Amino acid sequence: MRAVRHILLPAVALIALSSFSCGSGDSASDGAGASKGAAPHRIAFVSNGVDPFWNVCAAGARAKAAELGVDLDVVFPNGTAEDQNQKLEDLLIRGVSGIAVSPVNSTGQVGFLDRIAADVPLITQDTDAPDSQRLCFIGVDNYAAGRTVGSLVKEACPDGGSVVIFIGRLEQNNARDRRQGVIDELLDRDSDPSRFDEVGKVPKGGKYEVLDTRVDNFDVAQAMAGAQDALVAYPDLACMVGLFAYNPPTCLEALRSAGRLGEVQVIGFDEQDGTLDGIESGHVYATVSQNPYQYGSESVRVLNAICDGDKSVIPEGGIIGVKAAIVRKENVAEFRAELNKRRAGE
């Protein structure tokens, strides 16, 4: 088993590159790691912050790295684009063969990501930077996943009502798409991923009204404060929608502190333990899981093949889709058991 380096660092990045292979040797191998007789490829998996979500991604990356015989660096930046950029530069200095990154700022980092992509194959995972020179993106369709969240709000609140959305940041295109999908579904709009409702406006349509979007800048304390304030500002709130992994647990804690558990519906995203606990107890209606384990596994698989000279792993259009899953009370126990196996590397 090759060495796996786990580096707790700060930030997030992007991915790219076009027609070159990595490591030593130019010929494609049989996919077992590196070209025959060459050193193993050294691949980096870079998050956009520190969160249990990324631990599951890392578990998938480690498992695939062990299977393929590649060296792996796992880098958890602190959540700022500046730190992520620095860590990406550090990876180049260390001589990595390819990078899979979740950019903190999908548009603001394009120039930097293009410079990375000029040196090594770059792909994006979790969130995309489609205007960059990344080779491909691995992840769910976040607009569609957002619409799924919106449909869950409709199930939980069939008579309609007011909704507040809680989210980490909107500089990431996955976050923008996810939020927009929720709004468009609630307002029964046609699908249009390019649409964007500005924060501060109050989209209304049919039975639902999106009163507010609370952006916490990837800060759990700020997320908690935002959830608590929303409960005071909107006493008739029908549903809290948490779109980053830590948002549903902070919504639950705010409701618990206010003595309002069970009065306001909670719909989540991702699979933090607090969210799954809430589903089991009946205080969270449901959550949408992105399958983060596959993000890590697919990132290593794709980069390893590219470094072997195999570009066939890059589909036309450059998108490798991952299917999202709805977790409800009836399937949460099974989902959690499988999640724990993956966390443990089984």
Q: Would you say residue 124 lies in a domain?
A: yes
User: Is residue 55 domain-shared with residue 167, that is, in the same domain?
Assistant: no
Q: Are residues 163 and 262 in the same domain?
A: yes
> 252 and 164 share a domain?
yes
Average pLDDT of the chain is 90
User: pLDDT tens digits for 281-337?
Assistant: 999 999 999 999 999 999 999 999 999 999 999 999 999 999 999 999 999 999 999
Residue 338 within a domain: no
227 domain-assigned: yes
CATH number, domain of 154, equals: 3.40.50.2300
- Is the residue at 340 inside a domain? no
Q: Do residues 265 and 316 share a domain?
A: no
Let me know if residue 14 belongs to a domain: yes
Looking at residue 3, what is its pLDDT? 41
Residue 29, domain extent: 4-139+291-322
Q: What is the distance between the alpha carbons of residues 131 and 219, in angstroms, rounded to a whole number? A: 27
**Average pLDDT, integer, range 50-69:** 96
- Say yes or no: 131 and 234 in one domain: no
Residue 345: band (very low, low, confident or very high) from pLDDT cuts 50, 70, 90 = confident
Report if residue 237 sits inside a domain.
Answer: yes
Q: Are residues 184 and 118 in the same domain?
A: no
The pLDDT of residue 205: 81
Question: What are the backbone angles phi and psi of residue 60, rounded to the nearest 5°?
Answer: -65, -40
96 and 174 housed in the same domain = no
Q: How many CB atoms lie within 10 A of CB 62?
A: 20
Residue 336 lies in a domain: no
Residue 339 lies in a domain: no
pTM of the model: 0.85
**Segment 114-144, tens digit of pLDDT:** 999 999 999 999 999 999 999 999 999 999 9
Q: At 46, list the tokens.
A: 């870079």
Q: How many domains does the chain contain in total?
A: 2
Claim to verify: residue 130 and residue 172 sit in the same structural domain: no
Q: Are residues 71 and 172 in the same domain?
A: no
Positions of E strands within the chain = 4-8, 42-46, 71-76, 98-101, 122-125, 137-139, 161-167, 204-205, 208-215, 239-242, 265-269, 286-289, 319-321, 325-327
Q: Could you tell me if 158 and 268 lie in one domain?
A: yes
Domain co-membership, 118 together with 227: no
